[in-house]
Chains A and B, each alone.
Chain A
């Protein structure tokens, strides 16, 4: 590749002020908080509009360089999915495309560019009586769009109608450099013309007989660069009531949450062990450790809510029905010995946090995350306990209206201690494989596990995924080295 020609072309597209070859910048983008080591990119480019992205991806096809899309400037990247894994990569940093393009209260939908962050969007929506379907206490500086693209679980499982929620329509630049809009946003007509007719880009399916938004989701930027999305919103409740039950028996917690979700009785619903709950509630190691000691091992938190003049009536009916269910189950839960205010719980469920909450205990963490079914959760917890002698955080999130469960083990450690780092690295690979051998479904296969994940799947799956890659990114210009595309 002719380096001068390449830079001249990029400058023509984005302007010299939007390109950096500063060694410090290049170094920053060659590492993240995962155990993967990245290569140094050739440069970082900040496009300002979809057309720039189209031109850059087309240029990459012509001049044979690779493009790694990055949505935000957040320094808290943990999964190695945006590290350059080959030479001749550029970082396509979309953080300057950070407009909230529209907020539609009537249709409960927002349209955002990739650079829009949680701390930017949550307060704006709140003012309009709306709320995002949030992952658990997301980092403030993270891209709202990329979180949805990564299929991160949301904390209100009853509103998780499809595993793809809250993602709706998208605008994508495929690996070929072709611009495309998915769902009803595809047309007929431009977005403006559609909106004139009352359309709100709320149907993600299609156009017609395929749904490309689904293949883009979970692709880690390897099939297309998404330049805006619409996201499903819910109305802000006026009254919320917090419940926090504890038990030393995970099965009791699981049994109750099942009933709550089956009948769609609560909004937020999360299961946390004492360590992760303490990390969410407290800010430093000492406070966290103190709280861990007073909490029981398993914690179920759920919220019931109401809105408008009949909010109290709703709360009252839900309380009555839930009490009846708990009585029928014959379960006894304890309340926490220590005072945890509703406000504290609502805060971590409704607001983003400045620094990742999982880092609060020891300064660093690695997560092992996968999907499984209701009955297998205790088995995987036991497997983890048998193979990891230290304490670890657990977060269990029912997803897709209770049809499966996101299970996450968080291994907290001191990043300064090389021996510890080495052990953690070995452990997450070893335990990850043991979990996979036992049937854990790593549906979001990030860097360190990707190869192992695909070796645990059928050849037909990998073959089909490679066909998809061939269609949308035939020259493999987008984020090479992720998933199963480079074998």
Chain B
């Protein structure tokens, strides 16, 4: 709870009804998905709760966020901002904190059709934004987390791979003008939005150096360096006709499949064959989706219940599957893309399972267009998290996957993580094959302490293998401990990151639990 006088000052900013420091609310906000194994990895008790915040505050505007942040500086209280709030990264690292739940900031500020971008507030979900941009024949980049996740959070603060990344890229690379409440309370407007005269959102870089490089990296700062209140993100051509008709009931809605969309699921002989196929297909710039998934993951993306997952066991025998979806706006474009695929199938000696051995539910196509395939990861155990997350060439990603297999099998044999034959992987191309990323989704039982511990240990061992074998940097290198461990192996980057934190957050109020502290250990 907050001291009465401090509570009053926060209430004066957001209104009495928009702050709660009562036990019920603060305890509820201490829960999140996957926090238990994060606790374990940080040598804490593996419970599904973070430290309990002193209060939960719901600001409604940038100015209110600014005032809340200024007050946090005044009383040296840390703040943790969250948008749609998925995952442990939304949790405070100390009980001397308040949560800024940004759900009241839920407006689509602008869809700029002529300049191909949209401006959103934190609580606008991908689904909400996509539904609006589709009206103009435009699409958004949605992260693998799914359409319910905040567009702003993915672009400014988290990671950003998505199933449509061959055409829509990576969140961090799609950022334009941004409004950012710095940890000290100043409002920084990036690029053309920082102009005194006629500020606008079309560019996030300059004048001179681009502060986007401070704002985030391959992954974001997860509220460790202030609060993002509005962001402009690039829009892309919608890949096919925009009619989107769903009928029926959950979990298997009936979707009217657009005229010009087609899926391919092929099995490559080995990783070498997979790499070649992946690169060749992407060089042709035709794919909306081009993802390598483990055979288990292929089973999952076509399943809507645990029972139906078991029905797909035949997919489990695939060696190195590749899932490709092509889509087109016109028949001419569609015919051309199909012709290219026919040509490539012959060149690469591939056979499409779709249409020959298996026909997916129509809903599969809706989920491709809505980037909703990721949620199938929850079907097996309800709990899953990805190890790995490196991003560079296809060869590096596949090597990391290959080397991870025996490690994963070791933990499967221990009985602490689910049996996916050790293969669990999702790998996508970006920007028509200019780079690739791979992560290794792993299923565990969040309600079983041994499983949680096993997951934590597996993650640690997997990270360490990447470090020692030069297999790139996984997603979740965050917090002092991991930065200090990895920094010396990566040009001592942690020292630079720490300098950034120190100079932009001199009072250390922006919770650095998933970032880095200005002074080591000052989390």
| Residues from chain A with Cβ under 8 Å of B196 in the complex | 456-458
Q: Which residue of A lies closest to B466 (CB)?
A: A188
A163, A202, A309, A403: which contacts B392 (Cβ < 8 A)?
A: A202
A19-27, A140-148, A210-218, A280-288: which lies at the B interface? A210-218
Q: Which residue of B lies closest to A169 (CB)?
A: B392
B111-119, B125-133, B306-314, B444-452: which lies at the A interface? B111-119
Complex: how many Å from CA A441 to CA B189?
Answer: 13
B189 touches A263 (CB 8 A): no
A463 touches B186 (CB 8 A): yes
A460 touches B189 (CB 8 A): yes
Cβ < 8 Å to B, chain A residues 282-326: 309-310, 313-314, 316-317, 320-321, 324
B208 touches A437 (CB 8 A): no
Complex: how many Å from CA A207 to CA B492?
Answer: 10
Residue A402 interfacial (CB < 8 Å): yes
B195 touches A200 (CB 8 A): no
B496 touches A456 (CB 8 A): no
Complex: how many Å from CA A178 to CA B492?
Answer: 10
Query: Would you give the 0/1 interface string for B321-354, flagging 1 where the beta carbon is closer than 8 Å to chain A?
Result: 0000000011011011001100100000000000
B511 CB to closest chain A CB (Å) equals: 14
User: Which of B212, B490, B516 counts the most chain A CB atoms within 10 A?
Assistant: B490
Cβ < 8 Å to B, chain A residues 165-184: 178-181, 184
| Residues from chain B with Cβ under 8 Å of A401 in the complex | 116, 234, 236
Residue A363 interfacial (CB < 8 Å): no
Query: Assuming A197-B469, A205-B172, is B218 touching A402 (CB within 8 A)?
Result: no
Complex: how many Å from CA A220 to CA B199?
Answer: 24
B138, B209, B211, B332: which contacts A321 (Cβ < 8 A)?
A: B332
B470 touches A188 (CB 8 A): yes
B170, B391, B471: which contacts A197 (Cβ < 8 A)?
A: B471
A461 touches B332 (CB 8 A): no
| Residues from chain B with Cβ under 8 Å of A472 in the complex | 496
User: Which of B173, B283, B390 counts the most chain A CB atoms within 10 A?
Assistant: B173
| Residues from chain B with Cβ under 8 Å of A207 in the complex | 217-218, 473, 490-491, 493
A237 CB to closest chain B CB (Å) equals: 12
Residue A250 interfacial (CB < 8 Å): no
Query: Would you give the 0/1 interface string for A453-486, flagging 1 where the beta carbon is closer than 8 Å to chain B?
Result: 1101110110111011011100000000001100
Q: Which residue of A lies closest to B493 (CB)?
A: A207
Query: Assuming A108-B434, A210-B497, is B173 touching A205 (CB within 8 A)?
Result: yes
| Residues from chain B with Cβ under 8 Å of A437 in the complex | 197
Complex: how many Å from CA A432 to CA B477?
Answer: 45
B217 touches A210 (CB 8 A): yes
| Residues from chain B with Cβ under 8 Å of A188 in the complex | 466-468, 470-473, 486, 489-490
Query: Would you give the 0/1 interface string for A421-441, flagging 1 where the beta carbon is closer than 8 Å to chain B?
Result: 000000000000000111101
A404 touches B115 (CB 8 A): yes
Cβ < 8 Å to A, chain B residues 166-188: 169-170, 172-174, 176, 182, 186-188
Query: Assuming A402-B115, A463-B186, is B214 touching A468 (CB within 8 A)?
Result: yes
A324 touches B217 (CB 8 A): no
Residue A378 interfacial (CB < 8 Å): no
Residue A196 interfacial (CB < 8 Å): yes
A444 touches B207 (CB 8 A): yes
| Residues from chain B with Cβ under 8 Å of A460 in the complex | 182, 186-189, 194
A436 touches B491 (CB 8 A): no
Cβ < 8 Å to B, chain A residues 364-386: 371-376
Residue A198 interfacial (CB < 8 Å): yes
Count A-B contacts at CB 8 Å. 321
Q: How large is the interface on B (under 10, 10 to 19, 20 to 34, 35 or more residues)?
A: 35 or more
Query: Assuming A180-B496, A188-B470, is B209 touching A461 (CB within 8 A)?
Result: no
Residue A77 interfacial (CB < 8 Å): no
B217 touches A374 (CB 8 A): no
Residue A194 interfacial (CB < 8 Å): yes
B399 touches A197 (CB 8 A): yes
Complex: how many Å from CA A235 to CA B224?
Answer: 40
| Residues from chain B with Cβ under 8 Å of A209 in the complex | 216-222, 224, 478, 497, 515-516
A202 touches B435 (CB 8 A): yes
A184, A198, A210, A375: which contacts B213 (Cβ < 8 A)?
A: A210
Query: Assuming A371-B202, A439-B198, A445-B208, is B329 touching A263 (CB within 8 A)?
Result: yes
A206 touches B217 (CB 8 A): yes
Interface size on A, residues (CB 8 A): 96
| Residues from chain A with Cβ under 8 Å of B206 in the complex | 151, 218, 441, 443-445
A181 CB to closest chain B CB (Å) equals: 6
B519 CB to closest chain A CB (Å) equals: 16
Residue B371 interfacial (CB < 8 Å): no
| Residues from chain A with Cβ under 8 Å of B51 in the complex | none
Residue B279 interfacial (CB < 8 Å): yes
B493 touches A219 (CB 8 A): no
Residue A232 interfacial (CB < 8 Å): yes
Residue B237 interfacial (CB < 8 Å): yes
Residue A274 interfacial (CB < 8 Å): no
Query: Assuming A313-B339, A443-B203, is B195 touching A162 (CB within 8 A)?
Result: no
Residue A203 interfacial (CB < 8 Å): yes
B259-267, B373-381, B499-507: which lies at the A interface? B499-507
B186 touches A375 (CB 8 A): no
Residue A186 interfacial (CB < 8 Å): yes
Residue B148 interfacial (CB < 8 Å): no
Residue A243 interfacial (CB < 8 Å): no
B4 CB to closest chain A CB (Å) equals: 33
B189, B195, B217: which contacts A208 (Cβ < 8 A)?
A: B217
B470 touches A317 (CB 8 A): no
Complex: how many Å from CA A15 to CA B478?
Answer: 44
A309 touches B332 (CB 8 A): no
Residue B21 interfacial (CB < 8 Å): no
Residue A362 interfacial (CB < 8 Å): no
B396 touches A197 (CB 8 A): yes
| Residues from chain A with Cβ under 8 Å of B499 in the complex | 471
Residue B457 interfacial (CB < 8 Å): no
A191 CB to closest chain B CB (Å) equals: 10
A458 touches B173 (CB 8 A): no
Residue A137 interfacial (CB < 8 Å): no
A212 touches B496 (CB 8 A): yes
A403 touches B234 (CB 8 A): yes
| Residues from chain B with Cβ under 8 Å of A161 in the complex | 169, 173, 431, 434
Residue B254 interfacial (CB < 8 Å): no
| Residues from chain B with Cβ under 8 Å of A211 in the complex | 172, 212-213, 216-218
| Residues from chain B with Cβ under 8 Å of A128 in the complex | none
Query: Assuming A188-B470, A207-B491, A209-B516, is B486 touching A264 (CB within 8 A)?
Result: no
CB-based closest 9 A-B pairs: A439-B198, A198-B395, A214-B213, A189-B470, A443-B206, A206-B218, A205-B218, A187-B490, A404-B202
Show 9 residue pairs from A and B whose CB-CB distance is below 8 angstroms, ordered by the A residue.
Answer: A108-B434, A164-B210, A188-B473, A208-B477, A209-B219, A263-B329, A321-B329, A401-B236, A460-B189
Q: B interface vs A, CB < 8 Å?
A: 112, 114-117, 137-138, 169-170, 172-174, 176, 182, 186-192, 194-200, 202-214, 216-222, 224, 234, 236-237, 279, 283, 329-330, 332-333, 335-336, 339-340, 343, 390-396, 398-399, 431, 433-435, 466-473, 477-478, 483, 486, 489-493, 496-497, 499-500, 503-504, 515-516
Q: A interface vs B, CB < 8 Å?
A: 106-108, 151, 161-164, 178-181, 184, 186-189, 193-194, 196-203, 205-220, 223, 232, 235, 258, 262-264, 309-310, 313-314, 316-317, 320-321, 324, 371-376, 400-404, 436-439, 441-445, 453-454, 456-458, 460-461, 463-465, 467-468, 470-472, 483-484
Besides A161-B173, A208-B490, A458-B194, 13 other CB < 8 A contacts?
A184-B473, A200-B396, A205-B218, A211-B212, A220-B208, A262-B116, A321-B329, A402-B115, A402-B116, A444-B208, A460-B189, A461-B207, A472-B496
